[in-house]
Each structure stands twice: as structure tokens, then as C-alpha cells.
Amino acid sequence: MKKPIYLDYAATTPVDERVAERMVDCLTMTGNFANPASRSHLYGWQAEEAVELGRRQVADLVGADPREIVWTSGATESNNLAIKGIAQAGRERGRHLITSAIEHKAVLDSCQQLEREGFEVTYLRPDASGVIQPQQLADALREDTLLVSLMQVNNEIGTINDIAALGQVAREHGVPLHVDAAQSTGKVAIDLRTLPVDLMSFSAHKSYGPKGVGALYVRRSAGLQVQAQIHGGGHERGLRSGTLPTHQIVGMGAAFALAGAEMAAETARISQLRDRLLAGIAELPGVSLNGSAEQRVPHNLNLAFADVDGELLLLALKDLALSTGSACTSAAVEPSYVLRGIGVPDALAHSSLRLSLGRFTQESDIDAAVDILCRVVNQLRR
């Protein structure tokens, strides 16, 4: 059976074979299979050493101290821990949080849960380009604001918020900033030694690592109080209990090390592929780009095809693996809340597709995708 061309890297990436090789070494009796918390024997010491190497590799990619990296099961858990953990620990000082209307569902649902617990949340609306302006944040901050949570790279439209400017506004008001960076690693350079960010969420599976593991950066110098969301053993300095999955952590560390080493060359290569795709579909009338054309990662193209039903288009594109938006909400019939949030009319939102490119995308894939897209769109418009 011929597989479709994979253009859904924003949903997940395959594990790089170099990463998989490192992980396999942590699964059986001959490898680092032990519990890294077992400090009474050699097996545990070796597993702990592997875990700490992974921690350093994650920290190195983002300019953090390894002691600031907390292991989680993924960016969803990291977002929950950061947002609910800060709010619940600080509820005596305030009950107000700020986020945006186009965050990932892991952030929005965490905020909605806090609203049910009596907190108040301000949802900033991005401009038409899909970014939040610093003045919007400044205007929304209050004396009782406990946390600002804003993503760096949007998972649906690929736009990039100016985290340095937003973080400076938050810092001037003495409010910690949490950033969802699940879509950033390997695409955007991050240096937490200079970025005014206090918490940052990471995912392995968006960067050619395994699913089921992620991390939360918690700035040590900020003196943050974060209430644990999972209890039972006090692992990770009491912030996240549970036996650490050595093989997954090793995979995340290896994936982040590769991401750092290859980011510059890979970004240039992906940019060329993106430009090739756009040039190829230029002959199609009524195609528009959702979100900023400049302030975005080259890996993500969210395109609207006027006068074409998006669901029919997706069904007709059986030879392309892509999506109508976030993988967490792609089964929904409603138009994307992200596209609605930046003012895209429902008709165009319904006819929008997200094409995301990655490490294993080749020129031949792009050329074939262009041919398929042009043929199918023209057929559906007849």
C-alpha cells in the first residue's frame, strides 16, 4: 500500500533513527533499564547518569541551567503544571491570569478549569497577523495578576510572538511569564539566559523525539512557588512525582541535541522547500496565507482555498497527509478557533489546510504535493 506524502509535522514528528538507537539501549537487561531513583546499586546509578545527561542536553538547547529542567509526560502536562501550579500556589495573592484566545487547548482548558475554581482569566485577541502586541499585554495587567501564559510559535498557523518584548512587559510589572514552546525547539533559537521568561514548556515528539515525555523550565532565580499536580514520591524536587522513563528522557535529550546541531541548516533547507511549494501553487487563484507572512516559522503553511469546501478538499487529498488545524481539534466540524481568532471568515476557515514540513520532507515530496493540490482544487472548483 502506497503511503501518502507526510505534511503534518506540526502534529507530530517521527522519531529520528539516531534517537531511536539511543532509546533502545535503555530497554533491556543489557542496557540502562533501571529506575534512576534506585541509588543503592550500579544499575540505578547508570540510569540516573543517563537521565542527567538528557537533562543537560535539553537545557543546552535553550540556554538553561539543568537544575531548572523538570521532566513531565509532555507539553500538555507542562502547561498544566505551570498554569495551575502557579495559580493554586498564589491564590492568596491574586486570582487573575492572562493568556491569548489562540493558545493550544492545553493552555485554554487549564485556564477554564481555573475559572471554575474561582480565578479570572483575560484572553487577549491577536491582531490579523496572529501575534499579540506588547501594549495589549501591558493594558491587561493588573495588581492581582498571578501569571501571563503566551505561546511562542502557534501550532496551527506558525506565527511567532515576540517573547522578548512580551516578557519585558511582564517583568516590568513583576508578573511571571509562562511560554508554551512545544512548536519552537529546533525552529527558533531560544536563550533563557537573556529571555525574560520564567517558565517554558517543551515536548519531545514535536522535535523528532518520542511521545510521552516533555519538560518544564522553571527559572531558579525567580523564586517561584509551583504547586505540584501529581503526587507520590516527590520526584523532580517535589514538582512532579513518578518513576522517570529513562528511555524516553534519553530520547528527548538526543533529539534536542540534534535539533541544536542541525537547526541553522535545516531552517534554510525548509525555507527553500516552503518557497518552492508557494511558487508551485501560485497559479491557483484564490489562495491566501493565514497569519503573518514574515513573523512565522518556515515549517508551517496554513493556506485558505477560496470557493472550496475544506472537508471535501481534505478527503480528496488522500495522497497527502495534512490537516485542517491542530491535531487535538482536527475532528471538530466547527471552523478552527485559531483562524476565527485572527478574523478569518468562517467560509475561508472551513477551506483552510495546514501543511507542515519537516526533516524528512524532500523536493520530490513538494513537487508531487503541488501537482496534487493544483489538480484537486481545480477539480473541486468546477
Q: Which residues belong to the active site?
A: 328
Q: φ, ψ for residue 5 (rounded to 5)?
A: -70, 125
How far is residue 165's CA from residue 135's CA, in Å, rounded to a whole number?
Answer: 10
- Amino acid 321 reads A
Largest pairwise CA distance in the chain: 72
Using CA atoms, how far apart are residues 78 and 56, in angstroms rounded to an integer? 18
**Residue 183 cell numbers, joined:** 512548536
In order of 73, 103, 148, 307, the CA distances from 79 in angstroms are 11, 11, 12, 38
- What is the residue whose three cell numbers read 519531545? 204
Angstrom CA distances, 347 to 92, 178, 257, 311, stand at 45, 34, 42, 12
CA distance 34 to 28: 9
Phi, psi values for residue 307, rounded to 5°? 65, 25
Closest CA to 323 of 198, 155, 165: 155
Q: Tell me the pairing of strands 214-218 and 69-72.
A: antiparallel
Helices (H), the chain: 17-24, 42-62, 75-89, 105-116, 134-140, 163-172, 246-280, 310-316, 337-341, 346-350, 363-380
Q: At what angle do helices 17-24 and 246-280 cross, to 10 degrees?
A: 170
Measured from the Cβ of residue 27, the count of other Cβ atoms closer than 10 Å reads: 12
